[in-house]
């Protein structure tokens, strides 16, 4: 079994720690976090793991085989470079980095060091998103092109996430999952238009619309806000439109198949011509478990992860184009 290190013990670090130990049966060899509260909380839960105050000490003294980098996004670039220099395989949380130049530098360093580098684009391992991707790939369901409309509004995660130079705000941090899924499903983005604003006193754009057209004419409109005050929320909804109908997330009770078990299954329904409803079901899975298992298998069997630097770079580049258009139009 590889010696596993966890760099960053916040929300995602602790979640991956749980998946790796409780679901996949691994032990954590060493962890690091700069903040004493995070280290103390972790020590209480996982006695026996080596705990360091920073990743440099960990890499030098514990010499792990693999590291999960679950630090704030502005640290992905320098820490991934340090891991590559130490010859440590990297599972890098999303977004790969805030700037495409940083993504390229990580890619170059990983290739030079011959380490495995995987991007934590968890939707790629999720039965939910995988089923949607299959539906969207089949022109027979909605037709082609499709128009995906997504609205989300809440107070967001705050803190470093809302600093343009530390986390970049929702159009890179939250929407990067959409960016990766859309590029994976629809191909290259040929047009990116955006109008962004700051509702809250943050340096990152917290609210706005990004309209993206992909190479086969498919398009998405991301209407997002992380600019609401704590405790407030706006609309959270989405659908996908095509010449043959509209896809909705979930299946109303009246249209569920007889053997449908809502505990273990979920699905989509499409309302077509004359109100005809068709349903698409799937069995729920744990995308983080699949993601972490895939990376460990790649390390143990010397295979390339199915999602890596190229995909991380493409998603960050798309976010940069959204920011560039907002700058260009002054909105
Ligand atoms: N894949 C997903 O579904 C998903 C979900 C949430 C977050 N993320 C990503 O995971 C990464 C970590 O996010 P998180 O939610 O765990 O964040 P978090 O703020 O909860 O945790 C970050 C950890 O890094 C530590 N840290 C070390 N050095 C730091 C420094 N200089 N400044 C601030 N914190 C420092 C903090 O103590 C904290 O324990 C981010 O890149 C985020 O975008 C991914």
Q: What are phi and psi of 139, to 5 degrees?
A: -60, -20
Q: Residue 311: CB within 6 Å of ligand 1?
A: no
The residue length of the chain stands at: 331
Vertex 253: Cα angle to 248 and 256 (nearest 5): 80
pTM (predicted TM-score): 0.97
- In angstroms, what is the span from residue 176 Cα to ligand 1's centroid? 15
Q: Could you give all domains of the chain from N- to C-terminal order, each with its CATH number?
A: 4-123+288-309 (3.40.50.720), 126-285+318-329 (3.30.360.10)
* DSSP-derived 3-state class of residue 30: strand
Q: Residue 166: CB within 6 Å of ligand 1?
A: no
* DSSP-derived 3-state class of residue 193: strand
Tell the residue nearest (CA) to atom 25 of ligand 1. Answer: 8
Tell the residue nearest (CA) to atom 38 of ligand 1. Answer: 10
Q: How far apart are CA 36 and CA 14, in angstroms?
A: 15
- In angstroms, what is the span from residue 178 Cα to ligand 1's centroid? 19
User: What is the number of other CB atoms lying within 10 angstroms of the CB of residue 118?
Assistant: 27
- Token pair, residue 107, equals 């890619």
Higher pLDDT, 229 or 331: 229
- In angstroms, what is the span from residue 55 Cα to ligand 1's centroid? 14
Q: Residue 160: CB within 6 Å of ligand 1?
A: yes
pLDDT score for 330: 80
Rg (the chain; Cα; Å):
21
Tell the residue nearest (CA) to atom 15 of ligand 1. Answer: 11
pLDDT score for 321: 98
- In angstroms, what is the span from residue 230 Cα to ligand 1's centroid? 20
Closest approach atom of ligand 1 to CA 38? 39
To test the pocket of ligand 1, the residue of 12, 94, 156 to mutate (highest count of ligand atoms within 8 Å of its CB) is 12
Q: How far apart are CA 43 and CA 256, in angstroms?
A: 46
Smallest CA-to-CA distance from 5 within 57, 44, 41 is with 57
Q: What percent of the chain has pLDDT over 90?
A: 99
- In angstroms, what is the span from residue 8 Cα to ligand 1's centroid? 6
Calculate the alpha carbon distances from 195 to 150, 286, 322, 325 in Å: 15, 35, 8, 8
* pLDDT, average across residues 300-310: 98
Torsion over CA: 138, 143, 145, 146 (sign): negative
pLDDT tens per residue across span 186-238? 999 999 999 999 999 999 999 999 999 999 999 999 999 999 999 999 999 99
Q: Residue 38: CB within 6 Å of ligand 1?
A: yes
To test the pocket of ligand 1, the residue of 43, 71, 91, 125 to mutate (highest count of ligand atoms within 8 Å of its CB) is 71
pLDDT tens per residue across span 156-174? 999 999 999 999 999 999 9
- 329 pLDDT tier (thresholds 50, 70, 90): confident
Closest approach atom of ligand 1 to CA 76? 41
Q: How far apart are CA 21 and CA 120, in angstroms?
A: 18
Rounded to the nearest integer, the mean pLDDT of the chain is 97
């Amino acid at each position: 079994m590889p010696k596993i290190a966890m760099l960053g013990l916040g929300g995602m670090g602790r979640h991956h720690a749980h998946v790796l130990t409780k679901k996949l049966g691994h032990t954590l060899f060493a962890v690091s976090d700069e903040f004493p509260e995070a280290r103390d909380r972790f020590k209480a839960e996982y006695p026996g793991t080596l705990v360091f105050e920073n990743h440099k000490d960990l890499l030098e003294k514990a010499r792990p085989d693999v590291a999960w980098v679950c630090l704030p996004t502005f640290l992905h670039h320098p820490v991934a470079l340090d891991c590559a220099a130490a010859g440590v395989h990297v599972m890098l949380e999303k977004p790969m980095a805030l700037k495409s130049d940083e993504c390229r530098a990580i890619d170059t360093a990983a290739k030079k060091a011959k380490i495995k580098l995987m991007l934590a684009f968890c939707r790629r391992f999720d039965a939910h998103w995988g089923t949607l991707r299959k539906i969207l790939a089949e022109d027979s369901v909605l037709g082609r092109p499709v128009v995906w409309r997504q609205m989300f509004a809440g107070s967001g995660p705050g803190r470093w996430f809302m600093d343009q130079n530390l986390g970049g705000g929702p159009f890179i941090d939250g929407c990067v999952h959409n960016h990766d899924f859309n590029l994976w499903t629809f191909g290259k983005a040929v047009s990116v238009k955006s109008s962004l604003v700051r509702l809250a006193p943050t340096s990152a754009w917290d609210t706005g619309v990004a309209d993206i057209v992909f190479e086969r004419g498919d398009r998405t409109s991301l209407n997002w806000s992380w600019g609401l005050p704590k405790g407030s929320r706006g609309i959270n909804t989405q659908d996908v439109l095509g010449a043959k109908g509209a896809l909705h997330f979930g299946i109303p009770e009246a249209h569920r198949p007889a053997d449908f078990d809502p505990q273990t299954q979920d699905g989509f329904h499409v309302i077509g011509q004359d109100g005809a409803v068709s349903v698409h079901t799937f069995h729920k899975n744990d995308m983080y478990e699949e993601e972490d298992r895939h990376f460990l298998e790649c390390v143990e069997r010397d295979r390339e992860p199915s999602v890596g630097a190229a995909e991380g770079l493409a998603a960050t580049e798309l976010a940069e184009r959204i920011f560039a258009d907002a700058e260009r139009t002054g909105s």
